[in-house]
Amino acid sequence: MSERLDVKKTYKLLVNGAFPRSESGRSYPVMSAGGDFLANVAQGSRKDLRDAVVAARSAQSKWWAASAYNRGQVLYRWAEMAESRGAELAEHVRVAEGLAAKDARASVARAIDRLVWYAGWTDKVAQVLGGANPVAGPFFNFSLPAPSGVVAVVADQDSSLEGFVECVAAPICVGNAVVAIASERRPTPAITLAEMTVTSDLPAGVLNVVSGVTSELAPHLVVHEDVDGVDLTGAGAAGDDLARRAAASIKRVYRPRDDENPLRRLRSFVETSTVWHTIGQ
């Protein structure tokens, strides 16, 4: 029988590269898949979300200004750190999702593979979408892909670690900053993975994670004036309602089928990204 690792019992928010308590000081208990107490997790408020959006907005332009190579190296370091702590992540997944130990390890391995895949995309986007365009006369015309800006990620209650990686790494790799609401019932694997960014050189504010009651936080985040795009991992009535709210405030909305395509997190080139998406890229 494999050794069980202890997991910590208290989790805070991740905002601007730091781990603050929630503005209210409140937390809520998270139970394991077997119904046992797992941890106390910070219960974020609207004020915490606003702070996270401010941090993301401040960090995004600098992150986009970094070279694509450097962005990729940062994401590779994040993946390497996740791999070095794979046993810890697998234990979080096992107790949170109720998986067998071998299935939890496989889930973590897939999540890390996705993170590596997105790290490799950072310097490919310009090759796919950018370049010179033929024009008449002594002129030079070229196009450059640009990120959306600040992307809100709303994880559904049962979102997996793999789903979290899909939704945060895709926008980050092309130069966006992210404010994520962690899965309400299964937040610990995602929070643990996100905490690793602080020591993997991801600039403060590029990834912010706020935990809490999704039904209270999400409607406020998706209509925030400084949020440019919204990634929804859930479907159903709740996801549809959030999509309508976001669309009404003129924001790009990405649904589960769009998650893995980083081109969709760019400000333009919708037609090109759709073509790539339909052929499995």
Looking at residue 158, its pLDDT comes to 76
Tell me the HSE value of 192 on the side-chain side, using a 13 A CA sphere.
25
Instruction: Give the E-state strand segments of the chain in sequence order.
Output: 10-11, 27-31, 37-42, 131-133, 141-143, 150-154, 177-181, 207-210, 229-232, 252-254
The structural domains of the chain, with segments of one domain joined by +, span 10-128+148-278
**Strand 229-232 vs strand 177-181: parallel, antiparallel, or unpaired?**
unpaired
- Cα angle vertex 239, ends 266, 182, to 5°? 75
* Mean pLDDT of successive 10-residue stretches along the chain, which has 281 residues: 61 97 95 91 97 98 94 97 96 92 96 95 72 75 79 86 91 95 93 95 97 92 91 68 72 60 52 53 48
Looking at residue 196, its pLDDT comes to 97
- What's the pTM value of the predicted model, to 2 decimals? 0.84
CA-based nearest residue to 185, from 146, 228, 143, 214: 214
CATH number, span 10-128+148-278:
3.40.605.10
Looking at residue 1, its pLDDT comes to 38
User: Order of strands, edge to edge, in the sheet holding 27-31?
Assistant: 10-11, 37-42, 27-31
Looking at residue 262, its pLDDT comes to 54
Looking at residue 260, its pLDDT comes to 52
CA distance 90 to 230: 28
CA distance 130 to 81: 32
**Collapsed DSSP state (helix, strand, coil) of residue 281:** coil
Looking at residue 8, its pLDDT comes to 73
